[in-house]
Structure 1
Amino acid sequence: MLRQVKRATGATVGAIAAVVATIAVGCDTGTAWAVDVVNTDKVPREIVINDSDGQSKMLTLSPRGKLSDVCDSCVVLSGNTSAEAAGKTTVRIEGGNVVTGSK
């Protein structure tokens, strides 16, 4: 038995792709959310990021600069202050001090 198959038009393919993209955005992909670090100061700031796996890195964050997805779970240090951060968190540097908040 032969079946007749109708070809999908460009509009149909586009609509299907949009639905798939919407579903993918709404699904948990199993990847961890990551911590962002933002320097709200007008001067560069030296920061240290200590990852939960024992890695440590020193970075200079430019004025009004942002680092995305720096870790899944870590301690961020700047000056004499530090903060633990994990998941969907934004760590802000304000006046040289570390402040945490959700994204």
Structure 2
Amino acid sequence: MKLQLGITDTKQDDLLTLIINNVGKAMLGYLPALTSVPDELGYIVEDVAVARYYRRGSEGMKSKSIEGYSVAYDKDFDSYLHIFERYQPEESNDTPGVVAFY
């Protein structure tokens, strides 16, 4: 993440750790069957953490416009929902049902 952000010192390590941890916790909300983020999805944590780093100070905003420059923010995980679907628990057909005879 530091490489993507061009950070070469350790001054912001605590902030970066906080952002990464918060993104991981938020991501688990989309993965109810899991207790930790799988390694193969680590890139999503990194991508979203970088986006959140750049969005500091604009939390909660849907868009921002400054002197003719406009930015619209997506929800953090929207572009990854199709990936999260693969990690959803499968519905079982083993649930008891009701049979009625007339």
TM-score by length of 1: 0.22
Name the structure with the higher helix share. 2
Mark the structure with the bigger radius of gyration: 1
Name the structure with the higher strand share. 1
